[in-house]
Amino acid sequence: MPDSRELIQQVAQGIEASKTTSPTRPGQTEHRQGPTEAHIEAINQVFALFRLNYHNQYYAAYPDAEQLKQIKKLWLDSLADYPVEQILKGAKHAIEHSEYLPTLNRMHECCQQGLADIGLPPAHDAYLEACNAPSPRSAQAWSHPAVYLAGRDSDWFFLANNAERLTWPVFQGHYQEYCARVLRGEELEVPAPEALERDAAEPLSADEQLAELKKLREQSGV
C-alpha cells in the first residue's frame, strides 16, 4: 500500500497533469455540464488520501463498498463546480490541518481555505471586489491579480449594469479558471495602467449593449 507521501505526490502530479488535460484557453470560461473524468479521478484520489491518513475513522464512517460508492457520488456532485486543482488542494489542506476525517461541508471549507493559503480571496468576495472597484481599474490595489482579470474578462460594463443573478455566474466561471491557473503555479499580473480597459465615460450603444448581454447570457447559461 502506498504511504502518505506517495499519495500526496500523486495529488501534486494530478495538478501538474491538469495543465495538459484542460481544454479551456486562458481567459475563457468553461461552463461545466456535470462532473468530468478528471473530477472523478480527483475524488478517488481524495478518498485514497483520507483512507490512509484517517484509517480508523475512515472505515468507521464508510463500512461497506456500496455505501462508499454512494458517498463518493454525493461528493462528486457537490464538488463538481470547483476546478480539479482546487479539490486536490482542499484535500491536502484538510489532512495537513485536521486530525479528523472531513465531512462534505468541511471539505467545501478546505477548498476555499486552499485558495486563501496562496492569497486568493473566496469567489464571492472577489466578485464584490470587482463590482465595486472604481476606474481606472488597472490602477487599483487588488487583493490578487486573478480578481482583476476575472472582472475584465466578465466585462466591467456588464458587471456594473446588470443584476447579480446574471453577473455572478459569469464572474465565478472566469475566476475559477484563473484560480486553477494559480494553483498550477502560474503567476498572474495586472496589466500596466496604460493598457486601459474601456473608458466608463464611453458607454456602448444600445445595440452593442444588447449584443453583449446576449453573448454573456449564452456564456452563463442564464
List, for the chain, all residue ranges whose pLDDT scores fall below the cut of 50.
Answer: 1-2, 4, 8, 11, 15, 17-32, 195-196, 199-201
- Of the residues 69, 92, 116, which one is the last residue of a structural domain? 116
- Please name the residue that has the C-alpha cell 485514497: 48
Domain boundary among 116, 141, 157: 116
List the grid coordinates of 48.
Answer: 485514497
Contact call for residues 96 and 191 (beta carbons, < 8 A): no
Query: Which pLDDT tens digit goes with each residue over 180-204?
Result: 899 888 999 998 875 445 544 456 6
118-128 per-position pLDDT tens digit: 899 999 999 99
Last residue of a domain, one of 116, 136, 165: 116
Task: Answer yes or no: do 110 and 136 share one domain.
Answer: no
The verdict on 109 and 17 lying in the same domain is yes
Domain boundaries, position 82: 4-116
Is the same domain home to 9 and 104? Answer: yes
Residue found by looking up cell 449594469 in the block: 161
Burial class (CB in 10 A: 0-12, 13-18, 19+), 222: middle
> With a threshold of 0.75, does the pTM exceed it?
no
The answer to whether residues 107 and 194 belong to one domain is no
* Sequence-distant (≥ 6) Cβ neighbours of residue 180 within 8 angstroms: 18, 22, 83, 84, 85, 86
Q: What cell numbers appear for 84 in the block? A: 480539479
Per-residue pLDDT at 125:
95
Domains of the chain: total: 2
Q: Are 85 and 12 members of one domain?
A: yes
